[in-house]
Amino acid sequence: MTKDQSYFLFGISQEAIDRVIFPLSELTKEEIKPIALKKLPWLGSLQTYKESQDVCFINSDYMDILRLHVKVDEPGVVVDTDGNEIGVHQGYMHYTVGKRRGFRIDGAHEPHYVLRTNPAKNEIVVGKKDELKTTTVQAQNLSLPKTFKDGIYGVKVRYRSPQVKADVSLKDGVIKASLKEPVYGVAPGQALVIYEDDKVLGGGWIE
């Protein structure tokens, strides 16, 4: 299922879990639509509703929303991992880790990817694809219970990324995951979510 949204449930506190009710139980969207239309015919064209994408309450680009509140189109420099200036960009808010377009690299003959951003300097740091690869992820725990036992679990580092097996530990409020295979484009502020098969155990915010 490409739109399995269990990933977003990681933030529910342990105290709230026993009180959470999912009225649709295990029914999928495809299964519930005909039931809803039968009982609530005034829904009309439910079957033909366009699927929402990304931030569903924004009609255009999310940058248009940011422009209402902050300056996002502030040109800055692109640097390599040694700090050398090698190009220019449109403003650091335009870029997320892993992005490879929308900035200029002087004399580049192969693709470069955003490795990280530096808001204080309005810089983006770029490198080759292999430099996006990592096998270790650390996050501040948000919802793993104190009874969590270190061991091998499935983890996700982004909503639509596949689960990857990892050796996961929790100590002093920090989750550490040693991945059994590398993943690309892990970014601070994303959620690290821990699974036991298809069961969400909890997670935290990547540092």
pTM of the model: 0.82
Does residue 45 have a pLDDT over 70? no
pLDDT of residue 165: 98
Pick the CATH number of 132-206 from 3.40.50.2300, 2.40.30.10, 2.40.10.340, 2.60.120.200: 2.40.30.10
Distance, in Å, from the CA atom of 80 to the CA atom of 86, rounded to the nearest integer, reads 7
Q: Which tokens sit at 47?
A: 């079957």
Which of 193, 191, 194, 195 lies closest to 205, judged by CA? 191
pLDDT band, residue 202 (cuts 50/70/90): very high
Tens digit of pLDDT for each residue in 16-35? 888 888 888 888 878 887 88
CATH superfamily of 62-126: Adenine nucleotide alpha hydrolases-like domains (2.30.30.280)
Q: How far is Cα 115 from Cα 23, in angstroms, rounded to an integer?
A: 41
Q: Summarize pLDDT for 151-190 with one digit per residue, the tens.
A: 999 999 988 889 999 999 999 999 999 999 999 989 999 9
Domain ranges in the chain are 62-126, 132-206
Given a cut of 80, is residue 58 above it in pLDDT? no
pLDDT per residue as tens digits for the range 70-113: 899 999 999 999 999 999 999 999 999 999 999 999 887 889 99
